[in-house]
Amino acid sequence: MPDSPCDPFVATFALAAVGIAHVGLDGRWLRVNRTCCEITGCTEEELLQGRFQEITHPDDLGSDLENIERLLSGKGRHYSMEKRYVRRDGSLIWVNLSVTLVSKPDGAPDFFISLITDISRAKALEADLIASEARYRSIFDAAVEAMAVIDHQGSIQSVNPAVERIFGYQPEELVGRNIKVLLPRAIAAKHDGYLERYRRTGVPGIIGKGRDVEGRRKDGTLVALDLSVAQWTHDDRTYFTGTMRDVSKRRATEAALLQSRDDLQSLQTEYAHLARVTEMGEMASAIAHEINQPLTAIANNLNAGLYAIEACDAIEASAEARIVMKAAADQAIRAGLIIRRLREFVGKTTGERRLEAITPLIEAARDLALIDAPAHGIEVEMADDGQDLHATIDAIQLKQVLVNLLRNAVDALLTLPKGAQRKIRIATGLSDIAGQFHITLSDTGPGIPDRLRQSIFEPFFTSKSHGMGMGLSVCQRLVEAHGGTIMLEPTKLGASFRVSLPLDR
C-alpha cells in the first residue's frame, strides 16, 4: 500500500470522518486513523499496542468473535454489527462496525479492514424514543378513560384496556375495524362523511374540543361519554386519538339533581301557597266583616224593594224598587270583588312571570291586606314619584310579599293605645341602583327592637303571640327569586321595609 502522504489513498485513510483500521487476524490493531482514535478515546500508540477484544464491551464480544470466525472459515467476506467500545475514561460508545476480510494473493486470510461509525447520538435518540414509547404505553394502558387511535380513514390502530370495561370489547376485537363500531348507528352512518370533509377542507369539527356524545357497547346498548379528540402525524400520515370517559353516573346524578331542584321548587311553591292560605285564615274575621256589610245591605235593600211594591201604587213602587235594586246590585258587585281578590290571592300560581304594571298590583294588594284598616282607624297613604313602573314578575307572589308586610304593619298598629297615630305609608320609585325600583312600606307602630333586627328573616322567627314565623322568610325567598332584595330600613318611628326589584322600562 502506498505510504506517501500525498497519495489519495493515504489521505482518505487519514482524514476520513469515520474510523478506519487494519486489524490482524488475532485482533491486534495494525493501523488506525485519527477518527478511530477519537471514537475509542485512545491514542494511536495505545491502540497499536493492544487488541480490539480489550476495548470491546463484554456483552458484545461474543457476537463479534463469532462473526470473525465465520469469515475465517470461508463463510463470507463481510459482516456488520452494532457494538460498544469501552473508552479509556471508562465511558461507553456505540458504534456501527463494518468488517471486510482481506486475503493474500494465494487466497489465505491476511487482515481485516474495519470501518467504525459513531452512532452514540442515534442510540441515545433511540433510547429516548423507546423510553417515550414506554411512558406513552404505560399511560395509554393505565388510563381510566377508554382511548383509541384511528387513521385518516377511521380504521382503529390501537385501543387501551379501558375499552373493554366501557364497551365490552377485547382490544384485539377492535384493532383493524372501523371506529364506527363504537358509535350509535345514526352517527356511524355519517362518520365517513365527517372524515372526508375534514380531509377536503381541513376545518376541524370535534378535534381539540370536548363534547358529550353517546357510544355503542358490544351488546348494542348506549353509554354516555365525554369525548375529546387529538390529531397527530407520523411519517406524513394523519392519526387521531380519541379519549372517552364514561359519564353515565354523572348524567344520572345531574338528572337526579334537576329532579330534586324541580321537586324543591314545587315544594316551595306549595309552601308559598300554604302561607297565603294561612294569611287569609288570620284575616278571616276582617274578611267576614267586610263581606257581611254588602250582604246585609243587599238584604235590606231587597226588603225595602218588596215593602215599596206592597205599600205603594204601581208607578211609585216601580221607581222605588229600581232605586233599591240598583243599591243591592252595587253591594253584590262589591262583595263579588272582595271574593275575586281572595280567590286570586289564595289560588295556586304557575310560576310564570309576565310584564306587569306595578302601581295597579300594589293597589290590589293594599285593598286586600288593608280591608279592615278603616274600621281600626288606620290611615293609608300612597306615594310615588310619577314613574310608570313595570317589571317582569309573578304577580301573585309579589302580592303575597306586599300583603304579608302590610298585615304585619296592621298587627303592629293594633298594639298601640287608642288615640295614637295609626298610619301606613306605601311609597314607590326608582332606586339609587341603576335598573331597579323600590317599594317601601312603613308604619307608625312600636317598631322592631335592635336585638331582633338581625333575625327577622330567619325561618320560624316571630315576635307575635301567634303565627308560625315563616312569613318574612317566605317573603325574602320570593323577592330573591325575582333577582331582588328585601331589607328592614333604619327608622326613628315604627318599622320600614324596602323591597327592591329589577325594572323593565
Instruction: Average the pLDDT over each of 53-57, 111-115, 367-371, 388-392 and give the range with the smallest value.
Output: 367-371
Residue pair 242/148 in contact by the 8 Å Cβ criterion: yes
Across the chain, what does the average pLDDT equal? 81
Tell me: pLDDT of 88 over 80. yes
CATH 3.30.450.20 holds for 8-119: yes
Q: How far is CA 404 from the centre of its chain?
A: 39
Q: How far is CA 291 from the centre of its chain?
A: 56
Q: Which long-range contacts (CB under 8 A, 24 or more apart) does 125-134 make?
A: none
Residue-wise burial string across 448-480, b where 16 or more C-beta atoms lie within 10 A, e elsewhere: beeeeeeebbeeebeeeeeeeebbbbbbbbbbe
Give the three-class secondary structure for 417. coil
Tell me: pLDDT of 405 over 80. yes
Q: What is the full DSSP assignment across 66-124?
A: HHHHHHHTTS-SEEEEEEEEE-TTS-EEEEEEEEEEEE-TTS-EEEEEEEEEE-HHHHH
- Is 8-119's fold the same as 143-246's? yes
Residue pair 361/399 in contact by the 8 Å Cβ criterion: yes
Residue ranges of domains in the chain? 8-119, 143-246, 352-505
Strand partners, 497: 441, 488
pLDDT-based confidence at residue 423 (cuts at 50, 70, 90)? very high
Tell me the per-residue pLDDT of 104-127, one tens digit each, with 9 for 90 and over: 999 899 999 999 999 989 888 887
d(C-alpha 159, C-alpha 168), whole Å: 12
Tell me: pLDDT of 254 over 60. yes
Q: What is the pLDDT of residue 212?
A: 83
Q: How far is CA 17 from the centre of its chain?
A: 61
d(C-alpha 160, C-alpha 157), whole Å: 11
pLDDT-based confidence at residue 321 (cuts at 50, 70, 90)? low
What's at 31, amino acid-wise? R
Tell me the per-residue pLDDT of 448-491, one tens digit each, with 9 for 90 and over: 888 888 888 887 666 665 555 567 887 888 899 889 999 999 88
Q: What is the pLDDT of residue 1?
A: 38
Residue 411, burial from CB neighbour count under 10 angstroms (0-12, 13-18, 19+): middle
Residue 241: partners with Cβ closer than 8 Å, 6 or more residues away: 147, 148, 149, 229, 230, 232
Cα torsion angle, 67, 70, 75, 77, sign:
positive
Residue pair 480/396 in contact by the 8 Å Cβ criterion: no
Q: What is the pLDDT of residue 80?
A: 94
Tell me: pLDDT of 340 over 90. no
- Half-sphere exposure of residue 315, counting CA atoms within 13 Å on the CB side? 0
d(C-alpha 395, C-alpha 360), whole Å: 11
Per cent of the chain over pLDDT 90 is 31
Mean pLDDT of 94-100: 94
Instruction: Average the pLDDT over each of 176-190, 275-289, 374-388, 435-449 and give the range with the smallest value.
Output: 275-289
Per cent of the chain over pLDDT 70 is 76
Mean pLDDT of 55-69: 94
Tell me the per-residue pLDDT of 350-385, one tens digit each, with 9 for 90 and over: 567 889 899 998 998 888 778 788 888 999 999 987
Mean pLDDT of 142-163: 84
Residue pair 499/401 in contact by the 8 Å Cβ criterion: yes
- Category of 419 on φ-ψ map: left (φ > 0), alpha (ψ -120 to 50) or beta: left
CA torsion 116-118-120-125 (nearest 10°) is -110
Residue pair 228/213 in contact by the 8 Å Cβ criterion: no
Residue pair 207/197 in contact by the 8 Å Cβ criterion: no
What residue has cell string 317573603? 475
Q: What is the pLDDT of residue 30?
A: 95
Class of domain 352-505: alpha beta
Q: What are phi and psi of 224, to 5 degrees?
A: -75, 130
Residue-wise burial string across 414-424, b where 16 or more C-beta atoms lie within 10 A, e elsewhere: eebeeeeebbb
Length reported for the chain: 505
Count Cβ atoms below 10 Å from residue 197 Cβ, excluding itself.
Answer: 13
What residue has cell string 377485547? 170
Tell me: pLDDT of 337 over 90. no
Q: What is the pLDDT of residue 2?
A: 43
Q: What is the pLDDT of residue 145?
A: 82
Tell me: pLDDT of 438 over 50. yes
Q: What is the pLDDT of residue 57?
A: 95
Q: What is the pLDDT of residue 147?
A: 84
Tell me the per-residue pLDDT of 156-165, one tens digit each, with 9 for 90 and over: 988 888 888 8
Q: What is the pLDDT of residue 505?
A: 55
Mean pLDDT of 226-240: 83
Class of domain 143-246: alpha beta
Quote the DSSP letter at residue 402.
H
Quote the DSSP letter at residue 493.
S
Q: What is the pLDDT of residue 108?
A: 92
